[in-house]
């Protein structure tokens, strides 16, 4: 069984270890132009110098109306390419793999940061918001009513993911992750709770997964053959009659056939009413495990993974190929360096930048 510090090769890319930084919105583009700032360089850069193998950007919108908040990053123009390039150059120089999460927020777009006075509430037009879009004209509870996408507009979304992926290559990213989780646009199409279409994008499993497969095909068409593409799924809606883990495993296998290299397995986010979510350390690991086993595809586990021994056990038990860390990495940017120490690795085998060696755990 691999250790957390063992490299992982996907296609022609070797990531230095299996401790990956999960995507995390920073709501910090104060100019509201989608261009990442010094905040993003420092935030992501600190986790690269902290030893993470792969450093993933926040959900980065492929079109302006696909931003969760007006302060999200984007990748729909060349100014954004230039700004991201500076960041990917730094991450790579520090030995980390630069990865971007490509996203469209769908009906959960046009909201405020969770730390804004409205605590993530809707942003109206007068405050710089916009009408969101979705598979059906039904609002997420408490958010703005979306416009139902036409079939032509769906084709535009697919094209936008492809164009953003092309820009991501130019910007120096080695890995693209397609965000199809958490109740954002692609997940909204997957789930029968948010997709009430009667055309070829709604109803049957084949129809509900059509958009995410088309998006993957569009991204793969421009992504270098020797570099990996990941997809983040919500493994379940945690709702009766919602998107299920069985469907996720079936989709995982289909995405693998279409060139996805790893499924990053989260859950929930598509309803305001999900109950019985068994929130506890590692609570989403069984979802990653089932998709890995039944979908025969590599997976990443995420969600309340905070301790090195816990993370190592996930790999030892064959539940996932990598772990992704989010909140613990906000308070501990160099978590991988602590993990290396606690798991008994020598300093020379841990991913210290030379500038930090004198501060090594001992």
Ligand X SMILES: Cc1cc2nc3c(=O)[nH]c(=O)nc-3n(C[C@H](O)[C@H](O)[C@H](O)COP(=O)(O)O)c2cc1C
Q: Tell me how far apart the alpha carbons of residues 257 and 241 are, in angstroms, rounded to a whole number.
A: 27
Residues of this chain that bind ligand X (CB under 6 A): 22-25, 58-59, 101, 179, 181-182, 232, 266, 302-305, 325-328
- Determine the residue with CB nearest ligand X: 326
We find the least distance from the C-beta atom of residue 348 to ligand X, in angstroms, to be 28
With respect to ligand X, which residue has the nearer C-beta, 263 or 325? Answer: 325
Shortest approach of ligand X to residue 19 CB, angstroms?
11
**Could you tell me the smallest distance in angstroms from the CB atom of residue 355 to ligand X?**
27
3-state secondary structure of 272: coil
Return the number of the residue (313 or 328) whose C-beta is nearest ligand X. Answer: 328
Distant-in-sequence, close-in-space partners of 238: CB < 8 Å, separation ≥ 6: 267, 268, 274, 275, 276, 277
Residue 127: other Cβ atoms inside 10 A: 11
Shortest CB 102 distance to ligand X, Å: 11
Measured in residues, the chain has a length of: 362
Helix, coil or strand: residue 208:
helix
Considering the complex, state which of residue 73 and residue 290 has its C-beta at the smaller distance from ligand X: 73
CB of 41 to ligand X, least distance (A): 17
From 184, 201, 352, 356, active-site residue: 184
Half-sphere exposure of 142 (CA within 13 A, CB side): 10
| Cβ nearer to ligand X, comparing 12 with 291 | 291
User: What is the distance between the alpha carbons of residues 83 and 80, in angstroms, rounded to a whole number?
Assistant: 5
Using alpha carbons, list the distances in angstroms from residue 253 to 177, 180, 231, 248: 16, 15, 12, 9
- Based on CB atoms, which residue is closest to ligand X, 275 or 279? 279
Can 27 be counted among the known catalytic residues?
no
User: Minimum CB separation from ligand X for residue 358, in Å?
Assistant: 29
- Strands, DSSP E only, in the chain? 8-10, 13-15, 19-21, 54-61, 97-103, 133-134, 147-148, 175-180, 229-234, 262-266, 299-302, 322-325
Q: Which residue number, 41 or 326, has a Cβ lying nearer to ligand X?
A: 326
Q: State the distance between the two ends of the chain, measured CA to CA, in whole angstroms.
A: 26
The span from the CA of 58 to the CA of 136, in Å, is 26
Active-site annotation, residues: 184
């Amino acid at each position: 069984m691999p250790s957390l510090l063992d490299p992982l090769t996907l296609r022609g890319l070797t990531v230095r270890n299996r401790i990956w930084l999960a995507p995390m919105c920073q709501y910090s583009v104060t100019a509201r132009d989608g261009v990442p700032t010094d905040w993003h360089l420092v935030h992501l850069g600190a986790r690269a110098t902290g030893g993470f193998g792969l450093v993933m950007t926040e959900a980065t919108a492929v079109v302006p109306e696909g931003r969760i908040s007006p302060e999200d990053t984007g990748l729909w123009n060349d100014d954004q390419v230039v700004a991201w390039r500076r960041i990917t150059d730094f991450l790579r120089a520090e030995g980390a793999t630069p990865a971007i999460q490509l996203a469209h927020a769908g009906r959960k777009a046009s909201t405020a940061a969770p730390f804004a006075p409205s605590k993530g509430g809707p942003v109206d037009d007068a405050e710089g918001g916009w009408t969101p879009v979705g598979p059906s004209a039904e609002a997420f509870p408490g958010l703005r009513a979306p416009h139902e996408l036409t079939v032509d507009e769906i084709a535009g979304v697919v094209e936008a993911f492809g164009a953003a992926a092309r820009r991501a290559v130019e910007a120096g990213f080695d890995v693209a992750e397609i965000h199809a989780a958490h109740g954002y646009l692609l997940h909204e199409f997957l789930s029968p709770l948010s997709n009430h279409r009667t055309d070829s994008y709604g109803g049957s499993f084949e129809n509900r997964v059509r958009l995410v497969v088309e998006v993957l095909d569009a991204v793969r068409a421009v992504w270098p053959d020797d570099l990996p593409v990941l997809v983040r799924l919500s493994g379940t809606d945690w709702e009766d009659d919602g998107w299920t883990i069985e469907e996720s495993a079936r989709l995982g296998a289909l995405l693998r056939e279409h060139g996805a290299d790893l499924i990053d397995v989260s859950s929930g986010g598509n309803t305001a009413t999900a109950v019985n979510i068994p929130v506890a350390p590692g609570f989403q690991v069984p979802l990653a495990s089932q998709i890995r086993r039944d979908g025969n595809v590599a997976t990443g586990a995420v969600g309340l993974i905070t301790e090195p021994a816990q993370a190592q056990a996930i790999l030892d038990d064959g539940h996932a190929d990598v772990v992704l860390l989010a909140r613990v990495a906000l308070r501990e940017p160099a978590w991988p360096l602590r993990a290396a120490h606690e798991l008994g690795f020598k300093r020379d085998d841990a991913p210290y930048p030379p500038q930090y060696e004198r501060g090594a755990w001992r």
